[in-house]
């Protein structure tokens, strides 16, 4: 991908995002086909995880496209302030779940359980990271925290 400056960079970004969305749609189809071909619960859950992630990727990509073609996405101090207590409460929940997942992963003895628990731990850490990023945005809006 070339690095266009100015207005052309928006179209370039949109084109790349749409290409990526097509790949995500193909991934959803492929994982569904694999799921149809097996009754193994481990393979099926791995394919379902990937399928759901591809669906979410597609949705996030669409939000980016819409923000470039329709209306910018904004976040006001008032909007974040309205929900911040609940966000902090949820962040504490995520941190507790991470502890549980880590403990279970450390105690697991089968490779399949270890892999599934590692997935859950990684995903919970991702949630915590998203909340940390939201906190950084909030700090940028409120210079005193």
Tens digits of residue pLDDT in 30-78: 999 999 999 999 999 999 999 999 999 999 999 999 999 999 999 999 9
**CA pair distance 99, 141, nearest whole angstrom:** 31
Give domain limits for the chain.
1-73, 75-145
SS3 content of the chain, % helix, strand, coil (to 5): 85, 0, 15
Whether the model clears a pTM of 0.95, i.e. scores above it, the answer is no
**CA pair distance 24, 43, nearest whole angstrom:** 19
Tens digits of residue pLDDT in 87-127: 999 999 999 999 999 999 999 999 999 999 999 999 999 99
């Amino acid at each position: 991908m070339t690095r266009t400056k100015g207005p052309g960079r928006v179209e370039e970004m949109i084109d790349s995002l749409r290409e990526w969305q097509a790949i995500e749609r193909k991934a959803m189809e492929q994982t569904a086909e694999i799921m149809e071909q097996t009754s193994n619960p481990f393979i099926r859950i791995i394919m379902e995880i990937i399928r759901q992630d591809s669906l979410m990727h597609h949705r996030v990509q669409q939000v980016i496209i819409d923000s470039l073609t329709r209306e910018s996405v904004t976040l006001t101090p008032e909007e974040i302030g309205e929900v911040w207590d609940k966000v902090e409460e949820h962040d504490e929940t995520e941190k507790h779940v991470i502890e549980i997942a880590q403990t279970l992963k450390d105690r697991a003895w089968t490779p399949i359980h270890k892999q599934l628990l590692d997935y859950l731990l990684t995903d919970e850490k991702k949630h915590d990271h998203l909340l940390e990023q939201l906190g950084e945005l909030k700090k940028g809006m409120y210079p005193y925290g």
